[in-house]
Amino acid sequence: MRVNLIKKGLIVSFACVMILFVAEAGNGQSKQPPVTIEVPYKQKSYLGRPLAWDGREMMLLRRDGKVSILPVKTDRDYSTVSADFKPYSASEMRRRLQSEFGNKYDVSLTHDFVVVHPPGSPQVWATPFQQLYARFQAYFSTRGFRLQNPEFPMVAIVLRTRGEFDRMLKAFHNYDPSILGYYSPKSNRIITYDQTEGRSKDKSWLFNAGTILHEATHQTAFNTGLHSRFAPVVRWESEGLAMLFEARGVNNSQNFPRQEDRIHASRLSQLKQLYREGKVQGKMAELVVSDDLFRANAQAAYAISWGMTFYFSEAMPSKYKQFLKNDAARTDFASYSKKQRSADFAKAFGGDFKELEARMKRFYQELKQPDR
């Protein structure tokens, strides 16, 4: 998942804005009544809850969960239409998505998802997303987290072909053509495609594609308050968590309870190779304060991020829990400096990176590669 939420520089441009309505971390309550306003722009009208305004542009959270940035220079550029804000219901979201995608697709509802998919049983296409959500909730509830209920029905789009998937993503994002799925914080949608290629489908189709599990974990984390859609994302943390859930022993721990099942075999193999090549030393400190490694060497960044996350979750679970909780409580739209990132990390795990790296290396030297 790329972390440019709306457009390049969004977090910077809104770092010093007047915050209109910001949800308090952890309880989903607003400091002021969440009014609904209308912003006319280019012969369209946008309805939603104002989140932030810098005197030039306004960030608007719309009733379907999407976020729009609109030119609003004075209070004459918008009007208040309601003293409250109500997201679309699941049934209304279903109706709108059916209109958007037409009769070549079905739209199915689960308790928390609205899933656009090729014609077929909801049990095949929609149920796996709900299963992942339930398992995500179970994983964190057993570790003392009280996650929020999603404010909006979560939208998942399963396109019929790879070609449709490529065309849709090219329309709004420069993306890696090797990816199998994508979560957009801007639209709050996950997009993927039918990868079965004529093979028989069953309820496990989603869980056979690690990349889709990865993106579905992003979507769930951003909709339950574990991450904020409106705060700078610590990338090693977000990507590490999503990779953690790719392992069957994490996303389905009831059936796969062993530590071996919680290991991401390919990431472990990559990490061990990096250790053999001497390319891990110093990278923990680098990832803590900056996301630059993801641009310079994505494979190493992902492998080490998974390594940090798995190590902390297995060897330092209470500290990892506190780190996640502290990070979720950060103020929306506020800038997040390297100094503060380092301080927050040190608060949870300690600031001696050489010692932490040495302990993590010993942990992985003793960890056996799974036979799968």
What single letter denotes the amino acid at residue 176? D
| pLDDT value for 2 | 37
**Does residue 205 contact residue 177 with C-beta atoms inside 8 Å?**
no
8 has pLDDT over 50: no
**Model confidence pLDDT, tens digit, residues 13-40:** 333 333 343 333 333 333 455 899 999 9
* CATH T-level fold of 10-82: SH3 type barrels. (2.30.30)
| Number of helical H runs and strand E runs in the chain | 16, 11
Domain boundaries, the chain: 10-82, 90-223, 235-366
Report residue 214 as tokens. Answer: 């990865």
CATH class of 90-223: alpha beta
**Residue 17: which residues within 8 A CB-CB, separation 6 or more?**
52, 53, 54, 333
Q: What DSSP element (H or E) covers 243?
A: helix 235-244
DSSP state of 305: H
Strand order in the sheet with 189-193: 106-109, 113-117, 154-159, 189-193, 181-184
Q: Is the pLDDT of residue 337 over 70?
A: yes
Which region among 55-69, 110-124, 162-176 has the lowest average model confidence (pLDDT)? 162-176
Distance between CA atoms of residues 9 and 49, nearest Å: 22
Residue 89 confidence (pLDDT):
96
More confident residue, 331 or 11: 331
Q: Per residue in 124-156, pLDDT tens?
A: 888 889 989 999 999 999 999 999 999 999 999
Can you give the pLDDT at residue 211? 72
Six token digits for residue 133? 């959500």
**Fold match, 10-82 / 90-223:** no
